[in-house]
Chain A
């Protein structure tokens, strides 16, 4: 199982590979793109992209020298037909300098890259919302080599896909950057914070109505209000525990490190660390955290011991206790959280 890590500058290549990443993914906005299309939207992130082709070449050179692979993110949910040729040219150029794979969500772009850049691997982005065996077969038939599963899947669901399609690489999220809606079915943009930010944490003031048009009964309203408070707490975890880090520098936020033994057993090829827009230090500490768990797995430690180790790594197991920080809450370690069960922190 390999670690796939985000980068946004050539300077991050070496420390991330040294920390344990064998695969790096990055985005780039070609210099003429904004002029041609009046947008910087080459991928799902406006920020966190490399500063042009020269940097992309430096990244590939450095990674290759360190025996790591580089993937290029072209994962907008949809592109206009006017973009396809330009994107295919980007893919061709990336392959010519030694890039390994493109991360793609739009099915037209997948088809275009498969037809025109056949030696460039295609990784189906989590934005494509591929989460069943038949869908994975569909993308494989289009030319995909790897499926990056969306965030909200269970380990059992992952295992069903890896078992049915052993020749297809499967990548699953393991750390950072939660998404509240399914990425591929969220037809919004992350507005600047002064205009509302992501819609899932925007300032909507909703009130409950019964579907027959009336007011819910008071008892039902109380339950709904409590559920809303629980949801608010879950949101706080989804957004990186208020974008904080543990005292030892490891990042808080959506996490699946204690599920890594199960994912390894299921045949997952790579675990993904999200966060191209994050600070370099956060990326490095993220890779370190995941690599420490992976070392235990590689050493053949029992699954229970690895899970316990993983839960203890941030030295604050109470955050793990509630399950709200988990990508895969069904495998959280009951044993490791022990008495901390009753000490689930509240949303800030």
Chain B
């Protein structure tokens, strides 16, 4: 009864892995700008001790550099920062990508201005169907990628067992999903690797798949505890207010007492888990088999 059946794309295991780094805080561009070219260590070093939770093929070298937030409309990079990142990517010989969040209508004017600064062929990670429409209609030279907010799947690090995870399958192989992404000109998926994920969990998906590592996102709100730090009620913990970007200065780390779950953190409006080493191994296995052909490194 579903509309279309699709044939999976051929195994892409023979192609080299793509390696990206995603930066949210535009102020950190300065530390990258000192490099004439970027190496994998330049991507791994900012992760600190979390780099131990990443397993990369020996020949993985940077191919992409991303700027922007998937999770917060207050963190859209300035056009100056975008110009600088685009120029750096030209120098490094990397593809630039702008990362965008779910948006209220107020974000669209600055977003249009940001998109207008991108060179043809730049990627735009979209996490909002409206932004996907905008890119398709007004910026056809850009390449939209479906971000991990559009690739719905269960990622609760508290699940007691893999049985729980199997009760909520994802719909990434559904024919209509493919048709809709095709219709929007989206040719790639960027996903998280979930707790209890197996190496072959993205096998047979009819899109090139990128995985974010070593942090997966669990949940994100529009209400931001930390972003309300300087506000008084009723603006505190409400939508539509200004933000001082406190999340760029602080994060929260911790756990549920008495558990051995994945390390968890909260940064601004978003909760994350950090990959266990076994998850990194599974991602590496997925890369080796061509089920994942890009790894995007980013912090929490």
Taking beta carbons and an 8 Å cutoff, which residues of A are in contact with B? 38-39, 41, 76-85, 88-89, 106-109, 111-112, 115-116, 129-139, 142, 150, 152-154, 156-157, 160-161, 180-182, 184-189, 191, 195-196, 199-200, 202-211, 213, 216, 220, 223-224, 227-228, 230-231, 234, 322-324, 326, 329-330, 332, 344
Closest A residue to B165 by beta carbon equals: A189
Which of these, A108, A205, A344, contacts B254 with CB under 8 Å?
A205
Given A132-B108, A152-B222, 15 other A-B residues pairs in contact with their CB atoms under 8 A: A76-B168, A80-B170, A107-B180, A111-B179, A112-B1, A129-B102, A152-B238, A181-B269, A187-B194, A189-B164, A199-B219, A203-B257, A209-B253, A211-B251, A220-B250
Shortest CB-to-CB span from A228 to chain B, Å, is: 7
A329-B234 Cα distance, complex, nearest whole Å: 6
Q: Given the known A-B contacts A112-B1, A157-B104, are A210 and B236 also in contact in the complex, defined by CB atoms under 8 Å?
A: no
Contacts known (A135-B130, A199-B271); A182 close to B220, Cβ less than 8 A: yes
Indicate if the CB atoms of A84 and B176 lie closer than 8 Å: yes
A329 touches B238 (CB 8 A): yes
Most A Cβ at <10 Å: residue of B103, B194, B233, B265: B233
Cβ contact within 8 Å between A227 and B129:
no
Bound complex: CA A111 to CA B171 (Å): 13
Q: Is the CB of A230 within 8 A of B176?
A: no
**Distance in Å from the Cβ of A12 to the closest Cβ of chain B?**
28
Q: Is B155 an interface residue, CB under 8 A from the partner?
A: yes
Stretch at the interface among B7-15, B146-154, B280-288: B146-154
For A135, list chain B residues within 8 Å (CB). Answer: 103, 128-131, 133
- CB pair B158–A195 under 8 Å, yes or no, is yes
The interface residues of chain B lying within 8 Å CB-to-CB of A332 are 234
Q: Which of chain B's residues 218-246 have a Cβ closer than 8 Å to chain A?
A: 218-223, 225-226, 228-229, 233-240
Kindly state the separation between the CA atoms of A244 and B231 in the bound complex, as whole angstroms: 28
CB distance from A338 to the nearest CB of B (A): 15
Q: Is there an interface contact between A115 and B3, defined as CB atoms closer than 8 Å?
A: yes
Chain B residues 54 to 72 lying within 8 A of chain A, measured CB to CB, are none
Q: Which residues of B contact A209 (CB under 8 A)?
A: 250-253
* B233/A134 in contact, CB under 8 A: no
Closest to A213 in B: B48
Residues of B within 8 A of A191 (CB): 156, 158-159
> Which residues of B are found within 8 Å of A130, using beta-carbon distances?
129-130
CB distance from A259 to the nearest CB of B (A): 12
Main SS of the interface on chain B? loop
Contact B171 A132, beta carbon cutoff 8 Å: no
Chain B residues with CB below 8 A from A186, complex form: 218-221
Given known contacts A78-B168, A154-B240, A138 and B220 CB-to-CB distance under 8 angstroms: no
Docked CA distance A172–B220 (Å):
20
Which residue on A lies nearest to B247, using beta carbons? Answer: A211
Does A106 lie within 8 Å of B234, measured CB to CB? Answer: no
Which residues of B come within 8 Å of A, CB atoms?
1-3, 25, 48, 102-108, 128-134, 149, 152-156, 158-160, 164, 166-171, 173-177, 179-180, 194, 217-223, 225-226, 228-229, 233-240, 248-257, 264-266, 269, 271
CA distance A182 to B269 in the complex (A): 10
Contact B220 A152 (CB under 8 A): no
Contacting pair B168 A39 (CB below 8 A): yes
In the complex, which residues of chain B have a beta carbon less than 8 angstroms from the beta carbon of A329?
Answer: 233-235, 238
Task: List 13 A-B pairs, Cβ < 8 Å.
Answer: A79-B174, A81-B175, A84-B1, A107-B177, A134-B131, A136-B130, A187-B156, A189-B154, A199-B156, A206-B265, A230-B237, A322-B233, A330-B240
- B249–A138 touching, CB < 8 Å: no
Residues in B whose Cβ lies below 8 Å from that of A323? 233-236, 238
Asked if residues A152 and B239 are in contact (CB atoms below 8 Å), the reply is yes
A161 — which chain B residues lie within 8 A by C-beta? 105
Nearest to B170 among chain A residues (CB) is: A78
Residues of the A chain whose Cβ atoms lie less than 8 Å from the Cβ of B168: 39, 41, 76, 78, 189
Taken together as a complex, chains A and B put the C-alpha atoms of A216 and B247 apart, in Å, by 13
Distance in angstroms from B147 CB to nearest chain A CB is 11
Q: Is the CB of B238 within 8 A of A330?
A: yes
Q: Which of chain B's residues has its CB closest to A86's CB?
A: B1
Instruction: Decide if B240 touches A188 in the complex (CB within 8 Å).
Output: no
Which of A38, A139, A189 has its CB near the most chain B CB atoms (within 10 A)? A189
Q: Are the CB atoms of A138 and B132 closer together than 8 Å?
A: yes
B2 near A78 (CB under 8 angstroms)? Answer: no
CA distance A139 to B218 in the complex (A): 25
Structural contact, A188 and B156, CB atoms closer than 8 A: yes
CB distance B171 to A108 under 8 Å? yes
**Cα–Cα distance between A88 and B149 once the two chains are bound (Å):** 25
Q: Is the CB of B128 within 8 A of A132?
A: yes
**Complex interface: chain A residues within 8 A of B173 (CB):** 81
Q: How far is the CB of A216 from chain B (nearest CB, A)?
A: 6
User: When chains A and B are docked, how far (Å) is the Cα of A161 from the Cα of B164?
Assistant: 38
CA A150 – CA B235 in complex, angstroms?
A: 18
* Interfacial chain B residues near A322, Cβ < 8 Å: 233-234
Taken together as a complex, chains A and B put the C-alpha atoms of A79 and B238 apart, in Å, by 31
Name the residue of chain A whose CB is nearest to the CB of B216: A187
